[in-house]
Structure 1
Amino acid sequence: MRRHKEHVTPEGEMHHPFDAIVWKHFNEVYPGFAAESRNIYLCLSTDGFNPIGMNGEAHSLWPVIVTPYNLPPGMCMKREFLYLSVLVPGPTHPRKSLDIYLQPLIEELQMLWKDGVEAYDISMKEIFKIRADLMWTISDFSAYGMLSGWTTHGRLSCPYCQDETVLDAPPPWLTGEEIFRERINNIEGLSKSVDCGGNGHDNPSKTISGYGVTHNWVKKIIFWELPYWENHLLRHSLDFMHIEKNFFDNLTNTVLNAPGKTKDNIKSRLDLPGLCKRRDLEMKEDETMPIPIFRLPNAGKRAFILWLKNDLKFPDGYSSKFSRYIALFFRDISSKILKESDVGLLKANIGMKLCNLEKIFPPSFFDVMQHLLVHLPDEVALGSPVHFRWMYVFERYMYHLKKMVKNKAHIAGSIVAQWINEEISNAFSTFFGHPEIMSIPEGNTVLQTFMMLNCETFTPYERMFEEYMTLSVPDITPAAMQKAKDTKFAEWCKDYINDATQFYTFSMWMLDFVQGPRRSYRSWPIYHTRGYTFHTHNHGQNKKTQHYGVCVPGTNETDYYGLIQEIMMVEYHGDVGLKVMVTVIKHVLFFIHGYVNNQSMTGGPAPKKFPRGIRDTSEIALTAWQDDRRDQVAEISLLRVETHVVDDVSDYDIAPVNPPNDEYVSDGDVEADRDSDDGSE
C-alpha cells in the first residue's frame, strides 16, 4: 500500500497512476492527505449486464465496483481487489436515476475523506487512521453520460469539446472549478437526481436552459458533493476498450458494406453535397450509389474473412496504410510503460491520421467514437497508461458476477450472497492462509530461506551475510552461523536488496522473489512432470499402484524415504508471476545410517539437522521460477537444490520441485481417476 511513496520511477516514464499528473497534482493540493502514504486512492466503475442471458427476458443489473490504486502494477486491478460496493437491482435500466443508488457510497466516501477509519498496519505493528480519495470513474461512453451528467449523444456529445465541438481549434481545457462553479451552477433548470428523481430529467430541452444548443448538461451529478472532486484534473475516464472496439467495428462494417451497419448509406450520400466536395461519392442521376474506393469487392471480402490476421487489401492498396497506422496507434497508446515524449508524439500523429482517413471515407463515418481518439493521449498524459483505466478488467468481473446467479427469482440477492461468501473465503485465504501454514510460528521463514540458500543467484549475498555476522559476532561458531542463516538470512537479504535498488538495478524476478511468497497457495492431489506421476498419500493409499513414496538423496550420503503429504504451488506477488512447486514429505524411515523417526538404530550419534543449510549436491536442480504470462521457465543454471532432513515444529520437510511442461489435474480428473481405480479392484 506504500509503494507509490517508496518506489522511484525513471524520469519521464509512466508505469502506474502515481506517475501521472493527476496523482501529483492532487497531492500538491492536499498535502495532508499525501503525507500518510497508506491512504487509499480509489477508482469507480459501473456498467449494466443481463444476468439471465440474451435469450431470456430483459433484465438490467448495474454493479458499482471500486478498486484501490495503491497496489503494485502486478496486483493492481486484479479480481481479488475489486469490491462490489453497490448493486443496482433490475429489471429496468436505472438511466438518469443512478445517483439515487449511489447515495450510500458517496456518504461513506465523504466519511472516509473527512474522518477516516481506524486500521491496523501489520507490517509496522500499529493502528492508524486511514482515509480514502476517489480519483475518477471508468465506464463505456453511454454510462459516461450517467456518471458525468453530460449527455453523450447529439451534436455536443463530446464531453471535452462541449460547446466548442463545431470549432476547428482545440477547445480549452477546463478545470473542475470552472465546470462546476462557472457553468453547471449557472444553468437554469439543472437539478440533482436526489431532488427531482430519475424521471425529473426527462425532456431536458424543455426544462433546462440552453440544453442541446450551448451544452449537454442534464443533471448535477452526486460526485460534486465530494469536497475534493472539483480539484481533480481527470474526473471521468474515457474507456479505451470500447473506443477501440467501436472504431474498428465502424471501419470493418463500412469496408465490408455490412447491411444496416455500414456508415456509407443512402442518407449519408444525400447529405454529402452540403458537407464537402466529393463528386465521386455523390448520388448519380439514376439514383444509384457509386462504388467507393474503400469498399471491398466480393473477392476482397472473402480474402478478408479467410485471412483476418493480415492487413486489409483494398482495391487501390492505399487506404490499407491508414488502417495499419491506426492499429499501431492503439497498440502504442496501450503500452504498459509510456514515455512522456511518446504521448506528445501520439497526440500529434492521431490528428494527422484521422485527416488522412477523411480523404477516403464519407463524413458520416466520423461519429463521436472516431472523434474521441484525439482525446485519448490527453487522458494518458493526465491519468496513467490505459490498462489502469480500461473496462476489460471490469467486464470480466461482471461475467464472474453473472455466474453467481443461483436463484432467478431473486437475482440481485443471489449475487450479493455469493459475493459475500467469496469475499470471506478470499479474506481467510489471503490474510490467514492455509491451516498448516498458520500452524507455523510467527516469523518462521523456513520455506523462503531454503529456496534462497539453494539459488546460485543469492550465493554472493550469502557470503555478504556471513561477513556481516562475523563482524557483528567475531567468535561466532559454525553452528551459530547456520542458525543465523536459518532465522535471519531471508529478512536480511530482503532489506539489503530493497535498499540497494536506489543505486543498482536488479532483475524483476529477483525483486519479486525477495519479498516472500503469498500466504495462500494451491494444492493438487495428483501431479505430472517429466513423464512421472505423483499422488499424495491420502489420494493414493487405497490404489493398487503407489505414486506417493519417494526417496530423497541427502547431502551426507544418506537416503531418506518418505510419503508425499501435499503437492502445492507457492506463488509470489509482482509482474513476473513467480511460482514454485513444493512437495510436503512426511519422513517415516531413514536408511543407510539406520535412523527411524530421528532416533539412531545403531547406537551412534544422529547427524545434526538444521532447518536449512548450504550443502551442495550434484543432483539435478528441481526448482524453477515460471513466468505465468509467457509460460517460460528460468534457466537451470540459476538454481541449485539441496535435499536433507528438516527438524521443525511441523515435523515435515518442504522440498522444492521444478516442473517444466507441467500438467495440473482438475478435480474432475481426480474423481475420474479414483473411480477407474476403484472399478479395477
Structure 2
Amino acid sequence: MDKSWIKKSRWTYEYYKGANDFVDFAFKNASEDGRISCPCMKCTNSYSWTREVVRDHLICNGISPNYDNWFFYEEPISRATSNPTNESHSFPVHSVNDSIRGMLHEAFQMHNNQLQDDFQDDSDFQDSPGEGSNSQQPKGAPNEDASKFYKLLKDAEQPLYNGCEKYSKLAAIVVLYHLKALHGWSNKSFSMLLEVLKDMLPSDAKLPDDCYVAKKYIRDLGLGYEKIHACPNNCILFWKENADGEVCPKCSTSRWKTNEVNINLDAEEKSIKKKKPAIVLRWFPLKQRLQRLFMSSKTASMMKWHVEGRTNDGLLRHPADSLAWKSFDRRYADFSLDPRNVRLGLATDGFNPFRTMSTKYSCWPVILVPYNLPPWVCMKRSSLILSLLIPGPNSPSISIDVYLQPLIEELVQLWELGLDTYDASVGENFCMRAALLWTINDFPAYGDLSGWSTKGPLSCPSCNYDTRSRWLKYGGKYCFMGHRRFLHKNHRFRKDRISFDGTQEKELAPKILSGAEILEHTQYVECHFGKHINMSKGKRKRNKNIEYQPWKKRSIFFMLPYWEHHLLRHNLDVMHIEKNICDNVLGTLMNFDGKSKDNLKARLDLKDMGLRPELHSQSVGLNKIILPPSCFTMSLKEKDEFLKILKNVKVPDGYSSNLSRCIQLKERKMIGLKSHDCHILMQQLLPIALRGVLPKRVVAPLIDLCCFFRELCSKTLDVRELEQLESRIVETLCHLEIIFPPSFFTIMVHLVVHLATEAKIAGPVHYRWMYPIERALFWLKSEVRNKAHPEGSIAEGYMVEECMTFCSRYLETIETTFNRPARNIDDSMGAISNILLDQKSWMQAHRYVLFNSNEIIPFRSIHKSAIKRQNRGTRPSDMVINKIHVENFVDWFRSYVSKLLIIIVH
C-alpha cells in the first residue's frame, strides 16, 4: 500500500483517505470478535478496538510514525527486522532482539565508524574458545568502546536460556530495567524480582543476581560524566591549569575535606589515607549527547522538523517562528543554511533534594533544551539534557559562572569549530554546530545568570536604569508603579492627576538594553567570585556617596561570540509571575493574614504619600485604629459565596488538582495552592467566581488581567494580537493602580507589562517557562536514594534514566514512555446508555464543535462571502463552489458527527 499519507498532516484530505484505506486493509484479517490492534500514537498496537474506534484514533491521535512494517496485519515483513521462518506469527519472534541489535549499533556508532562493517560482515568475527558458538569477538585488539560494544553484542546474541527465541540475555535485562525505571521500583524490589524470576525460569537462565549487576550492564549503553573538583568557597574549578592544585589560589582553602581525625594524623598516614574532595561538580559532556540525537534513527529526522515539518503561515507556534530566531538566522546565514545545526535553551534552578523544609540545602542542575525538535517532543522530560550538576549545600549565587565554564567552553567549540556527526536519516556525515538562544529561570536566578541585581530600586532588567520605583516608609520595601508612561502619548490617563499620584505623566516607555550597551556598562564592573570576600564580621555598609550600581558582574555568556547580538537573552518566567500575582490578588481580596497587601502599614503609606484620603486609617479611642473599607473589601457573606463557587468546581481528570481540598470554608482560607493551581485559577476560575461578588470597577480590570494571561499562554500566537495585548495590559495595570494600594505593586506585578513584548520577540510562552523544568527537577529529587551523597545519587540515576530513554525508542512491542496510552482511553465498547438532550444542550454541543474545529474555518469564509453576495442581490446560481471544498466538507461533516457524539457521551 501507499504509505506516504503517514507523514502528512492529520488535517489533510490525503491523510484522511489513507487512514480509511488502511482500516479497510487491516480489517480484512481482523480477529473473530471484529477487533484489530490500534497503531495510533497512544495505543501503539497495545490495545485492540473495533473499526470505528480505530478510525477515530488514527484521525484524532495520528498513526505511530515508526510503524512502517504493518506486521500486525500480516503484511510481508522485511528481512532487516524479522526472522523469515516465523512470518506466520502475529509479530516477529525476534523483534525485541533485532531492536536491541540495532540500538547497540547506533549507540556505539559515534565512537567507532568501523563498527558498521564489523557488525554486518561475519568474516570479521571469530569464535572465542570456551564461550560457545554464539559468542563472537572481532579480530585484532579493539579499543575500549569497541570492546564494550562486542561484549554487549555477545549478550545480545546469547539466548536468555536454552530454547528461548524471543529474548536474549541483554534484551531481558533492558526490558526488565525499563519497567523498573518506568514504574519507579526501588532497587530492593527489583533485586527481589530478579531472585524470583531466576527461581521460576530454567536453571541455565542468565539473569543478573541483583540490581547492582543489572545496572552495570545498562551503564555500558550510557555516555558517562566527568567529576571536576571545585573550591569550597566557589572561587575556582580545579580544572585545566588548576587541575593539579592542592589549595585555592584565591582564598588558600584546601581542595580536600578536613576534619579533626585527619588533622591528628601523621604526614605518612595522611598520604596513605584516601583524600576526599570538598566540592565536586559533575559535568555531562554535551557533544556526545547531541551526536546521539542524530545518530539515532528514531530522532535524526525530528532534529530537522523546524525546517521540514513546520507550518510557516506567519503565526507563532514554535521558537522557529519568532523574531529572535529569524533575526539570528539573518545575521548568521552560514549557520542557518544547515537545518541540522542545533538551537538550545538553558534552564537552571535550585532545589532541596531531601524533601523537607527544615533542611537548608540547594542543589543546582543546569538543563539544556534542544529546540530543533517538534512541539510534541521538545519540552518533554525525555528530550531535556542534563549538562551540569552544581553541588550544595549553598546556592552558588553569582559565582555560578565558575561552574558554567565547562559548558561555555563546549558551546564556543560547537559554534566555532563544529563537530563531525553522522546523520542517520540521510546516511551521511556533516559538521554539526550549536548555538544557545536564551536562558529560562525564575527571577532570583535571572539575576545570578545575567548579572543584573533583581533586588533594590532598579529591580526590573527590562526597564533597567529607567525603572520607576518608590520606597514605602512603613511597608519597608519598594513598590513599582508609574505604568502610565507605557501608554501612547495622547492617552487620557497621562493627564489624570486625581486618580493617580497627583502628577501628569510625560515620560516615554524605557527601551531594553542591547548587548553592546550591556558590554559598555559592565566594562568596569569588578567581580570577585567566591565567599571569601564576604567573610568579614558584620554587614557591609554601603557608601552613600557612591551611585547605586545594579550590575554585579559581566555574565559569562558574553564569552559566546553571538550572545551580544541576541534580541532576548534571558526570559521572564511566566509561571512564577502568574503564581505571585495570584497570591497577591487572593491574599488582598480575601484579607489573608500575612498575605494581604491592604493592611495598616499600607494605609499609613497612603497617608504618607498623600493619596486617597478616604482610605486613611482613623484613630478611635486610645489604642484602637479603624481601617475604612475599600472598594475591593469583601464582606463575610461575599467571601463565603466566592469560596463556595471554587469549592464546588469540578474539572476533568488531569486538568488540575482537586482545588476543593485547598479551600477551608469554615476558616475562610485557601491553603496549599501550587503553581499550576494558580495557573488554572487565574485563567479559568477567577473570572467566573468574582462576578457578582465585587463592584464592576474592581472586577473588570481583574478579569482583563486573567484574560491577558489566558491569551498570552496560547499555543498559537499572532503578532498583531500580541501588539494589542501590549497596550491592553498597560491600561489594566493603570486601572489596578487606581484601585489597589501601592504595596500591591511588587516587582512581579510590574514585570507583567513586559511579557507580551517578550512573547512577540521569542514566541510562545510554553517553550520558555519553568513548568517542564520544575517537573524534571521533581524527578531528579526522586532519584536521591543515598541522602549522604545526594548529587552522586542524582548523577547515577540520570545516567540510567538516559540509557533507558534511549532504549525505549527501540522497544516498540512493549509499553514505554513514548507509546504509553493515555490515562483515560475512549472505549466505545463500554456500557451504552441512551441520553435525551434538550434543545439547549444540543445547541451548546453543536456550537462547541463549530467554534473549536479548524476544519470549519474555510467554510465560514465561504458562508460569509455568500451572505455578502445575497445582500448585494446576487442570485444563488451565480455562486460557484469548488468541488474540492464540497468533498472536504463531506469529510469534515463525518468527523464532526463523531466528535459531537463523543461530547454528548461525556
**Pairwise same-fold verdict (TM > 0.5):** yes
Can you give the 5+ residue segments of structure 2 that lack an aligned partner in the other structure? 1-302, 469-481, 486-507, 647-684, 831-852, 854-893
- Which of 695, 701, 715 is matched with 1:316 structurally? 695
Contact 1:96 1:198 in 2 (8 A): no
Contact 2:783 2:793 in 1 (8 A): yes
Q: After the TM superposition, which residues 602-613 of structure 1 pair with which residues of structure 2 at under 5 Å, given as runs? A: none
Shift of 1:390: 0.7
Instruction: State the distance in 2 between where 1:208 and 1:94 align.
Output: 28
Structure 1 pair 210–370 and aligned structure 2 pair: CA distance change class (3 A)? farther
Matched, 1:380 2:743: no
Structure 1 pair 637–347 and aligned structure 2 pair: CA distance change class (3 A)? closer
Can you give the 5+ residue segments of structure 1 that lack an aligned partner in the other structure? 438-516, 533-575, 577-632, 639-659, 661-681
97-106 vs 124-133, greater mean Cα deviation: 97-106
Contact 2:399 2:529 in 1 (8 A): no
Matched, 1:219 2:219: no
Contact 1:295 1:314 in 2 (8 A): no
Partner of 2:638: 300
252-261 vs 295-304, greater mean Cα deviation: 295-304
300-309 vs 3-12, greater mean Cα deviation: 3-12
Instruction: State the distance in 1 between where 2:826 and 2:316 align.
Output: 41
Shift of 1:41: 0.3
Matched, 1:174 2:517: no
Shift of 1:433: 3.8
Shift of 1:265: 2.0
Contact 1:15 1:336 in 2 (8 A): yes
Instruction: State the distance in 2 between where 1:18 and 1:209 align.
Output: 48
Shift of 1:96: 2.2
Partner of 1:22: 324
> Can you list the C-alpha shifts for 1:608-642, whole angstroms capped at 9, x where unaligned?
xxxxxxxxxxxxxxxxxxxxxxxxx979999xxxx
Q: Which portions of structure 1, spanning 4 or more consecutive aligned residues, are displaced by more than 6 angstroms?
A: 201-205, 517-520, 527-532, 633-638
245-254 vs 258-267, greater mean Cα deviation: 258-267
Partner of 1:69: 371
Partner of 1:337: 716
Q: What is the one-letter code of the residue matched to 2:587?
A: N
Partner of 2:336: 34
Contact 1:49 1:60 in 2 (8 A): yes
Contact 1:208 1:218 in 2 (8 A): no
Structure 1 pair 171–522 and aligned structure 2 pair: CA distance change class (3 A)? closer
Shift of 1:381: 0.7
Contact 1:106 1:223 in 2 (8 A): yes
Shift of 1:7: 4.3
- Which of 255, 261, 264 is matched with 2:598 structurally? 264
Contact 1:96 1:201 in 2 (8 A): no
Contact 2:449 2:555 in 1 (8 A): yes
> Can you list the C-alpha shifts for 1:276-313, whole angstroms capped at 9, x where unaligned?
52112112244432121212122222222221243324
Q: Secondary structure at the match of 1:66?
A: strand
> Can you list the C-alpha shifts for 1:222-276, whole angstroms capped at 9, x where unaligned?
1111111111110000001111111111011011111111111222211213435
Instruction: State the distance in 1 between where 2:564 and 2:636 align.
Output: 54
Flag the structure with higher helix content: 2
> Aligned-residue CA RMSD in angstroms?
3.2
Instruction: State the distance in 2 between where 1:365 and 1:153 align.
Output: 17
Shift of 1:55: 4.7
Contact 1:18 1:24 in 2 (8 A): yes
Instruction: State the distance in 1 between where 2:640 and 2:389 align.
Output: 45
* Percent of pairs with identical residues: 42
Instruction: State the distance in 2 between where 1:208 and 1:67 align.
Output: 43
Partner of 2:217: none
Contact 2:419 2:432 in 1 (8 A): yes
Q: After the TM superposition, which residues 6-21 of structure 1 pair with which residues of structure 2 at under 5 Å, given as runs? A: 6-7=308-309, 9-21=311-323
Q: After the TM superposition, which residues 130-141 of structure 1 pair with which residues of structure 2 at under 5 Å, given as runs? A: 130-141=432-443
Matched, 1:57 2:359: yes
- Which of 704, 723, 734 is matched with 1:325 structurally? 704
Tell me the TM-score normalised to structure 1 length: 0.62
Q: Secondary structure at the match of 2:752?
A: helix
Partner of 1:162: 464
Q: Secondary structure at the match of 2:629?
A: coil
Instruction: State the distance in 2 between where 1:74 and 1:330 align.
Output: 22
Instruction: State the distance in 2 between where 1:170 and 1:47 align.
Output: 31
Matched, 1:184 2:522: yes
Contact 2:365 2:389 in 1 (8 A): yes
Q: What is the one-letter code of the residue matched to 1:197?
A: G
Partner of 1:482: none
Partner of 1:196: 529
Instruction: State the distance in 1 between where 2:329 and 2:518 align.
Output: 21
Q: After the TM superposition, which residues 128-527 of structure 1 pair with which residues of structure 2 at under 5 Å, given as runs? A: 128-166=430-468, 168=485, 169-180=508-519, 182-187=520-525, 190-191=526-527, 195-198=528-531, 200=533, 206=542, 213=548, 215-286=549-620, 287-308=625-646, 309=685, 310-312=688-690, 313-430=692-809, 432-434=810-812, 521=819
Structure 1 pair 276–72 and aligned structure 2 pair: CA distance change class (3 A)? farther
Contact 1:319 1:360 in 2 (8 A): yes
Instruction: State the distance in 1 between where 2:554 and 2:592 align.
Output: 40
Contact 2:808 2:816 in 1 (8 A): no
Q: What is the one-letter code of the residue matched to 2:325?
A: W
Contact 1:41 1:69 in 2 (8 A): yes
Structure 1 pair 333–531 and aligned structure 2 pair: CA distance change class (3 A)? closer
Flag the structure with higher strand content: 1
309-318 vs 336-345, greater mean Cα deviation: 309-318
Shift of 1:523: 9.8
106-115 vs 90-99, greater mean Cα deviation: 90-99
Structure 1 pair 636–274 and aligned structure 2 pair: CA distance change class (3 A)? closer
Partner of 1:126: 428
Instruction: State the distance in 2 between where 1:224 and 1:201 align.
Output: 26
Instruction: State the distance in 2 between where 1:260 and 1:228 align.
Output: 46
Shift of 1:98: 1.4
> Can you list the C-alpha shifts for 1:532-553, whole angstroms capped at 9, x where unaligned?
9xxxxxxxxxxxxxxxxxxxxx
Shift of 1:106: 1.0
Contact 1:89 1:412 in 2 (8 A): yes
Structure 1 pair 380–208 and aligned structure 2 pair: CA distance change class (3 A)? farther
Partner of 1:557: none
18-27 vs 6-15, greater mean Cα deviation: 6-15
Number of equivalences:
452
Shift of 1:93: 2.0
Partner of 1:489: none
Instruction: State the distance in 2 between where 1:29 and 1:86 align.
Output: 30
Instruction: State the distance in 2 between where 1:522 and 1:285 align.
Output: 65
Partner of 1:606: none
Contact 2:447 2:454 in 1 (8 A): yes
